[in-house]
Amino acid sequence: MEVRNMKSVRGILIMVLLIICVISGFISISSIVSKKQDEAAYESLCESVTASSEPVTTESEPLTEQSEEIAVKPTESSAEETTSAASSVPAGVINLMKQNANVVGWIKIDNTKIDYPIVQHKEDNEYFLHRDINGKKNSAGSIYLDSNHQIDGDGLHVVYGHHMKNGSMFKDIVKFRDAAYMKQHQNITIWTGEREISLKPVYCYAGAADGSYRNNFDSPEELQAFLKEKTGETISSDNVFVFITCSYGSADERTYLICEEEG
């Protein structure tokens, strides 16, 4: 009788283990499929933007006699500069920003996998941590600008992205801690709705999560003093972007890539 009960218990345990294995396998496969779909969605988005990457040209309305009388040379010069800056932005980026209010720009780092839209949520800084650019759940999240910062204009701009094992999102940022790699990857471009921003990486380090990068500064001198404190280096630019991702070197470690605008 006891032997029969033992066999019955053993059979039940085997059945339970089989069910657990099946469920675990299903979850693993679902996770892989989900990640593949997430990757495909970003690849498709990148292709759609690249397909219409011709710069935007701004068409001006013909001047009437009245507008010719009102127009003054300084205003015309300023308008030409604005048009020139806007015309360097790829049409695909402009179209995406028109279609999706979450998108505030696009980042591309030559010879890396980083070629993504930049989104922003003004009220919740972690909103896009696990959401795609449309606000839908996404394991890779999005590349997003800190809610305290403005992408256009001078100052400090912090941009976050996940360090994905498959090499996507901001994983390549960690590689900039190697001086040789940084020297070979000097071309970083950000397009906004207003202009093209050319950046040069100047410093990269790993450190603890640091909320002070979310600050805004009242003057270029304050910004430069802040960066000096963080890096020990003199970074004289008044327009700086900091790209932040997880490092996994230790608990709560981040990689910080500091870039200054060229020109």
Q: Which residues contact 127 (CB under 8 A, 6 or more apart)?
A: 121, 135, 144
> Cα(117)–Cα(48) distance, rounded to whole angstroms?
12
pLDDT attached to residue 263: 73
pLDDT attached to residue 64: 38
pLDDT attached to residue 139: 87
Pairing label, strands 155-160, 239-246: parallel
Task: Write phi, then psi, for 119 (nearest 5 degrees).
Answer: -115, 170
Domain boundaries, the chain: 91-261
Strand partners, 156: 240
Fold of 91-261: Sortase; Chain: A; (2.40.260)
Strand partners, 243: 159, 257
Tokens for 130, please give them.
Answer: 């696990």
pLDDT attached to residue 231: 94
Tokens for 230, please give them.
Answer: 């963080």
pLDDT attached to residue 72: 35
Structure confidence by residue, pLDDT tens digits, 220-235? 999 999 999 999 999 9
Torsion of CA 112, 116, 122, 124, to 10 degrees: -70
> Cα(245)–Cα(99) distance, rounded to whole angstroms?
28
User: What is residue 190's three-state secondary structure?
Assistant: strand
Task: Write phi, then psi, for 258 (nearest 5 degrees).
Answer: -100, 125
> How many angstroms separate the Cα of 125 from the Cα of each of 90, 115, 129, 237?
27, 21, 8, 26
Note whether 137 and 131 are within 8 A (CB).
yes
> Cα(76)–Cα(58) distance, rounded to whole angstroms?
14
pLDDT attached to residue 65: 39
Q: Which residues of the chain have pLDDT under 70?
A: 1-11, 13-14, 16-87
